[in-house]
Amino acid sequence: MLPKKLKFLASIKLAVFVLLSLGVISAVGTFYESLYNASYAKLVVYQSFWMVAIQVLLAVNLAAVMVDRLPWKIRHLPFLLAHIGIILVLIGSVFTYFFGIDGVMLFPLGGKNRFVQVTQKEFSVYSSFDGNKFTTLSNEDVNFFKNDPKKQKIFFDVSADQKVEVLDYYIFAESKSQVLSSENKEDGPAVRFFIEGSRAKETGWLVANKIFKEVEQTMGLAKVKLSMKAPAGDYKAENEIYFYPGSGEEKINYMLFNKLGQKKGSLAIGEVIDTGWMDFKLRVLSYKPHAYRGTYFDKLDFPHAMSTEAVKIKFMEKEYWLGLNQPLKVFLKDRVYVLNYGQKRVDIGFNMKLKNFKVGRYQGSMQAASYESLVDVGDKEVLISMNEPYKRNGLTFYQSSFQEDEMGNPTHSILSVNKDPGRWIKYLGCLLICLGAAFLFYFKRRGGKWKFVK
Amino acid sequence: MKKIGLYFALLFFSFPVLAASSALKELPVQNGGRIKPLDTLASESIRLVYGKTNYQGKDPSTLVLTWLLAPRVWAETEFVQLKNHKLKKALGLSKEKDFYSQKQLASNPALESLLQNLKVKQDKEIKLGAFDQALSRLQGQLLRLNAFQSGSILRIAPPKDGKDETWQSINDFSADHQLKFAEILKTLTSHVAAVESKKTSKALDEAVKAYEDFAFAGTSVKIEDYKTRLKAEVFFNSAHPFRYAWIVYTLALLSIFFFWLWGKGAFLKGFGVFLFLGFLLHLFGFLIRVYISGRAPVSNMYETVLWVPFGTILFGFIIGKWNKSLLPHVGACIVAVFCLILSDLAPVILDPSIQPLEAVLRSNFWLLVHVLTITISYSAFFLAFILGDFSLFYHLNENKYRKEIATITTSIYRSLQIGIVLLAVGTILGGVWADYSWGRFWGWDPKETWAFIALMGYLALLHARLVGLIKSFGMAAGSVLAFSLVIMAWYGVNFWLGAGLHSYGFGSGGVEYVSVFVMLHIFYVLFVGFYLKLKNRS
């Protein structure tokens, strides 16, 4: 029996309150899930202080009422089983939360992977002198939702005199790209043009760089091309304008090919040229002798399938935007820095290679009926399919889903990886709950008018 | 082909009722991930385009073949259903009409940009409100008509080699293959012209059989494997067992009503007979549907609306017998009539077609056990709900109906106990299934969360009763109010949360009607509650 002062902890009124509160909080969570998405609902509601508090209160109430009914009689059996079962489920959930692993592994076809991406985020900075060997300069777990960078200063030390400062964080953001002028003389040129005729009009940006030295945009039968250097002496084309950098900052050189022949010259920003292709005229809207495509992020109020998290950072006097799992490379004269805001990667302890991936479709349709991955795990090959997971190192690998291109050909297999140390505690708890519920039907109600007979 | 088409179309429109032969209806077509009879594909297509299966009494299989034969005639016929006001406005169409022609819609200048906007939203997986759903349906309607006019949807020839499972559509046919199919169209025309004489019907059957023999020869597919299932499905399409079930259940309700009025024992017997007969029809419908689809009948919303009242009838029978009370039987009968009528009259919201299951649901055993358990718990709660409605009514005259209230409260308590055990076990099984399939026992997914919330609500109710916090009125009121949680878990999660919380307006899945249903019951409970409070004061 409980001491008088603690009696209320065992009261049914408290139980009713706890049950209703759990219901209300969960319901709020589902509305958040519908308005936003599942992970946001988890952050804000299901893992919030209130939810945890009410679950603690539930456990206390259950334990108190069991203590209060001491000494126990046989008729208490269903009640004890059900309540101990619930407490076990709660305990199991605690184990899962603190010691469990829940993440995904993405495999391109034929690709290798040994890391699970989990929900926890981290911020890392690496550097390399040769582009092959990277050293980790900084790697920390972060939670910008809890620790708002606008409310507190967040720094990562990169070296004795350099650091990365986090300026802002958007939980829902949409990436936008823009073309910016670069101080790096090795960056290629960029030109923005507007081409108009009686039949059509179009605007475009062309940005060339070390990897894509020549870029072009085609409109019907005509082509606009941009290159890092001038065309070869014997270069010939039809219905094309070939842009290349001028000697100065103001003008861009061009070579124009049309049915009349070819013409050379240079254009300043704002100038128009008659292309000679029907009645199309081309105007140079912008020209940057050295440019790069930069990404920035727009803040969203609500997420959608293509939105992501984004952080704004300051590094070496420049501001950059990083999208989740989208590393940024900062090139210097002698080295390159890689900055990443991404999901934490946990090493599973062995390499996995996707040898093959098959999708079974419902006959004559594109709807997936079943899918499976053939994976090389070092010493053997295993087939992982829906409802047939693979277990190793205490981890279980499930065939979760896959990505496909526009033609419907699978490009990536996605495995969900899971370690749940609380699993058997939860299962035992569930079993006890079910037993308790079942026994309820075999016992006569105290003072009741009806009786269950086997 | 054109000549036949024009001739055919003229005939078709001048004869009111036409029927194809049974062989044509049973012609196997590969569509929607399975092999179905042409009758089903035709009915589904007409329902999609026109809003219901019955277009001027014409046989569906024949109708859709005329879409192929006489596309130009159909292009000008106003039979494409469009009801959403905002969409009509966006397309510049008159609000008064509900049916437009394919030509008016497909050539509408505003349509293309609307569809582009829709695609952007679909790519971003933004939830679609009523307007976008109507637009999406319109796109589907036009695509379906096109698919018939081009013939691409008529995948009626199994593949020659075993590798690819995709059947060939008439577009891919070789010349003599096309000839065999044209034979069907020719005999169909004659059959229509002869106003379904026995001779032309036989000729049509023979043409279809000749085609099937040709198409299936040399393939790994044997038509005998499909024949019985196709026949069963065609029968099922026309038999409407669930419709007859609610008609018979309604007769049962009439009988019990007359018994209540006039007390004649014959009416009571009639109630029992009709109830049982209705139950048999209900069961029969399930058996056929299970045979055709090859799985348990609880894989989509429509099927659950058939299954839940089935469970309620069963529980009504058990509890009525235990408590020696008529009310559980009557209540269950009302629930059955209500649900079955709903399933019959809302085909655009509740899709009765048999669709392929998502890959993750294909593990038959877990699907069976988990979903059946949860939905049958809804049956028990539905029974408690209707009994609660009865009890509230009795409370308006507490003293006169003391005995009835006592009996019905016991019945409610029984139903709640059954429901809670089933819901708890079913929810746990759901966790076990999810853990087995993808390693997550509990993910706070809205469907499972609302099942959990309903469980919390009913548990709170039972615990409150344990210490006398609530008595007979509380039980009645509680079982009515708590059922809103079941409605949310069963229907609201899909049609309200899943459709985006800001979706309202007609055609968005009936959310308004359901809300009114819930509101009315809340008012009913409040009314009786205040009435009792005032009465007990004086």
Res B164 pLDDT > 80? no
Point out the domain boundary residue: B185, B215, B230. Answer: B230
Rg (CA), chain B: 27
Other CB atoms within 10 A of residue B294 CB: 11
> Is residue B299 located within the same domain as residue B182?
no
Model confidence band, residue B295 (pLDDT cutoffs 50, 70, 90): confident
* Distance separating alpha carbons of residues B445 and B468, to the nearest angstrom: 35
Output the pLDDT for position B140.
93
B259 within a domain of the structure (yes/no) = no
Average pLDDT, integer, range B365-394 = 92
- Is A225's Cβ below 8 Å from some Cβ in B? no
From the list A145, A144, A164, the residue with the least C-alpha distance to A155 is: A164
Output the pLDDT for position B144.
94
Which one is predicted more confidently, A438 or B146?
B146
Instruction: Identify the helix (H) or strand (E) that includes residue A383.
Output: strand A381-385
* Distance separating alpha carbons of residues B169 and B160, to the nearest angstrom: 13
A274 to chain B nearest CA, in Å? 32
Other CB atoms within 10 A of residue A448 CB: 10
Cβ–Cβ below 8 Å for B501 and A418:
no
First to last CA, chain A: 33
* Distance separating alpha carbons of residues B360 and B450, to the nearest angstrom: 21
Res A55 pLDDT > 70? yes
First to last CA, chain B: 85
> Is residue B204 located within the same domain as residue B299?
no
* Contacts of residue B342, Cβ cutoff 8 Å, sequence gap at least 6: B305, B350
B122 within a domain of the structure (yes/no) = yes
Instruction: Identify the helix (H) or strand (E) that includes residue B141.
Output: helix B130-150
B239 within a domain of the structure (yes/no) = no
* Distance separating alpha carbons of residues B359 and A360, to the nearest angstrom: 9
Cβ–Cβ below 8 Å for A369 and B33:
yes
Average pLDDT, integer, range B406-413 = 95
Put simply, the chain A residues between 377 and 396 with a CB less than 8 A from any chain B CB are 386-387, 389, 396
CB B230 within 8 A of CB B294: no
Length of chain B: 538
Q: Which burial class, exposed, middle or buried, applies to B332 when counting CB atoms under 10 A from its CB (0-12, 13-18, 19+)?
A: buried
Res A454 pLDDT > 50? no
| Parent domain of B518 | 295-303+346-537
Cβ–Cβ below 8 Å for A30 and B446:
yes
B404 to chain A nearest CA, in Å? 15
For residue A371, the chain B residue with the least C-alpha distance is B359
Partner residue facing A29 (CB), from B440, B444, B493? B444
What DSSP line would sit under A390-445, residue for residue?
A: EEETTEEEEEEEEEE-TTS-EEEEEEEEEE-TTHHHHHHHHHHHHHHHHHHTTSPP
pLDDT > 70 fraction of chain A, expressed in percent and rounded: 97
A313 to chain B nearest CA, in Å? 27
Query: What are the residue boundaries of the structural domains of chain A, listed by start?
Result: 4-100+422-440, 190-289
Point out the domain boundary residue: B211, B230, B249. Answer: B230
User: A388-397, B2-11, B301-310: lowest mean pLDDT where?
Assistant: B2-11
For residue B425, the chain A residue with the least C-alpha distance is A434
Res A406 pLDDT > 60? yes
Token digits of residue A149: 């960078």
From the list B248, B251, B257, the residue with the least C-alpha distance to B277 is: B248
Q: Using one digit for the tens of pLDDT, what is the confidence trace for B176-202?
A: 888 888 888 888 888 877 776 778 888
Question: Which residues in B lie closer than 8 A to residue A36 (C-beta atoms)?
Answer: none
Question: Which residues in A lie closer than 8 A to residue B431 (C-beta atoms)?
Answer: 430
Cβ–Cβ below 8 Å for B362 and A369:
yes
List the single best residue of A14, A28, A34, A400 to mutate versus B (max B Cβ within 10 A): A34
Res A444 pLDDT > 70? no
What DSSP line would sit under A307-364, residue for residue?
A: -EEEEEEEETTEEEEEETT--EEEE-SS-EEEEEEEEEEEEEEEEEEEEEEEEEEPTT
Put simply, the chain A residues between 414 and 433 with a CB less than 8 A from any chain B CB are 416-418, 420, 423, 426-427, 430, 433
- Is A329's Cβ below 8 Å from some Cβ in B? no
Output the pLDDT for position B361.
64
**ipTM score for this prediction:** 0.82
* Distance separating alpha carbons of residues A65 and A11, to the nearest angstrom: 7
* Distance separating alpha carbons of residues A18 and A12, to the nearest angstrom: 10
Cβ–Cβ below 8 Å for A20 and B452:
no
Model confidence band, residue A408 (pLDDT cutoffs 50, 70, 90): confident
Cβ–Cβ below 8 Å for A365 and B441:
no
Rg (CA), chain A: 32
Collapsed DSSP state (helix, strand, coil) of residue B435: helix
Q: Using one digit for the tens of pLDDT, what is the confidence trace for A218-269?
A: 887 788 999 988 888 888 888 899 999 988 888 899 999 988 888 899 999 9
Give the number of domains in chain B: 2
* Distance separating alpha carbons of residues A233 and A177, to the nearest angstrom: 35
For residue A41, the chain B residue with the least C-alpha distance is B444
Q: In b/e form, how buried is each residue of A116-134, taking b as 16+ CB within 10 angstroms? A: bbbeebbbbbbbeeeeeee
For residue A445, the chain B residue with the least C-alpha distance is B466
Partner residue facing B457 (CB), from A23, A418, A449? A23
* Distance separating alpha carbons of residues A22 and A24, to the nearest angstrom: 6
Is the pTM for the entire model greater than 0.90? no
Res A332 pLDDT > 90? no
Cβ–Cβ below 8 Å for A441 and B165:
no
Cβ–Cβ below 8 Å for A19 and B463:
yes
A128 to chain B nearest CA, in Å? 37
What DSSP line would sit under B75-106, residue for residue?
A: HTSEEEE---HHHHHHTT--SS-SEEEHHHHH
Output the pLDDT for position B504.
43
Average pLDDT, integer, range A343-352 = 92
Q: How many CA atoms lie within 13 A of B295 on its CB side?
A: 21
Output the pLDDT for position B198.
78
Mean pLDDT of chain B: 87
User: A381-395, B310-324, B445-459: lowest mean pLDDT where?
Assistant: A381-395
Put simply, the chain A residues between 38 and 67 with a CB less than 8 A from any chain B CB are 38, 41-42, 46
CB B458 within 8 A of CB B423: yes
B198 within a domain of the structure (yes/no) = yes
For A247-255, the CB contacts below 8 A with 24+ separation are A249/A289, A250/A287, A251/A287, A252/A189, A252/A191, A252/A284, A252/A287, A255/A231
B376 to chain A nearest CA, in Å? 17
pLDDT > 90 fraction of chain B, expressed in percent and rounded: 50
Res A445 pLDDT > 60? no
Instruction: Identify the helix (H) or strand (E) that includes residue A244.
Output: strand A240-245
Res B250 pLDDT > 90? yes
Res B420 pLDDT > 80? yes
Q: Using one digit for the tens of pLDDT, what is the confidence trace for B90-147?
A: 998 888 889 999 999 988 888 988 999 999 888 877 777 778 888 999 999 999 999 9
